[in-house]
Amino acid sequence: MALKGSKPLLADKRLKMFVFGPAGVGKTTAAIMFPQTYIIDCEKGTENYTSSIIKSKSVVFKSNNPDEIKQELKSLLTEKHEFKTVLLDPITQIYNAIQEKWTRIFEKHAKTEKEAEVQDFGMRYWAKVKGDYKSIIRMLLSLDMNVICTSHQKDIYGNGMTKIGVGPDSMRGDDYAFDLVFQLENINGKRMAKTIKERSEIGKNKFPESFEWSYANFSKFYGAEVLQRDSVPVLLASPDQVSEIKRLLDVVKIDSEEINKWFTKADVDSFDEMTSDQISKCIDYVSKKLEVKKEVTK
């Protein structure tokens, strides 16, 4: 079997960062410094910054409904627009809203009243919550835009309930999906960012261990040309393509394990989340299988 590896191409990656800090540190204030930002406000945190938002040519979409937010992200992914950055503020509220959504669904279909009362829904419940949440993270990371996710901060405890530090108040481990993680602190009246994680080549970090948070500093460290680049829309799978692959799979039986490999490679959960190019390759593959099947049966 021929090896499928290829030489990696150099590219200026979009800024994908996760920011957390205590209440009152100014996470929202810091994030809206970025011009031409599409702000998804999940807890009405932008209401005191109207002038700044208008000045930066940004807009606000207020919602903590995960399904509405997915639709907005899909539009940002697939449509031409003038926005350079998307801000999700804070993702903590999205995680809570997703849990509430699936709690209502599972309560409605609970087998017993006791099961509904104690909300003992088991692994199926958490699989739905994690799947819904991770689909939002995937869409954010797929955007050809700068991405800023803010999170509330929580204390982290070790053995014997001893406090060992602080971290983001969101789904465990979701910050690992981002290239950059910053902790915001107020130090001597200045809003300082502590670099918790930076994914980069060895010895080529862009950000210092600590720096004053400002758009000017982000332009300096990350590159203004990257931050200000226009977004390029992505063509997603069309309804006709999704119907076609499902029709073909009704005729040509493909092992579910192989289909799951397609989803894993495309980093999606379903065919309608694929790009048009990705699903076209699936259609071509199954179509060829069908042609072989027809030749054998002649």
Q: Mark which of 227, 252, 285 sits at the end of a domain.
A: 227
Same domain, 202 and 274: no
Q: Output b/e per residue, 142-151; b: 16+ Cβ within 10 A.
A: bbebbbbbbb
Average pLDDT over residues 119-123: 68
Same domain, 139 and 37: yes
Same domain, 129 and 263: no
What predicted TM-score, i.e. pTM, was given to this entire model? 0.84
Same domain, 132 and 50: yes
Q: List Cβ neighbours of 88 (8 Å cut-off, separation of 6 or more).
A: 40, 42, 69, 94, 140, 147, 148, 149, 150
pLDDT tens for residues 31-75? 889 999 999 999 888 888 899 999 999 999 999 999 999 999 999
Quick check: is 233 in a domain? no
Same domain, 55 and 181: yes
Quick check: is 3 in a domain? no
pLDDT tens for residues 160-198? 778 878 888 887 777 788 999 999 999 998 999 999 999
Same domain, 133 and 263: no
Same domain, 256 and 129: no
Q: List Cβ neighbours of 135 (8 Å cut-off, separation of 6 or more).
A: 70, 269, 273
Q: Is the pLDDT of residue 85 over 90?
A: yes
Same domain, 199 and 287: no
Q: Is the pLDDT of residue 17 over 70?
A: yes
Same domain, 171 and 268: no
User: What is the domain range of residue 264?
Assistant: 239-297
| % of the chain surpassing 90 pLDDT | 53
Please report which confidence band the pLDDT of residue 6 belongs to, taking 50, 70 and 90 as the band edges: low
Give, for 167, the enclosing helix (H) or strand (E). strand 163-168
The number of distinct structural domains making up the chain is 2
Q: Mean pLDDT of all residues in the chain?
A: 87
Q: Is the pLDDT of residue 8 over 80?
A: no
Q: Mark which of 188, 206, 227 sits at the end of a domain.
A: 227
CATH code of the domain containing 219: 3.40.50
Nearest-angstrom CA–CA distance, 80 and 208: 34
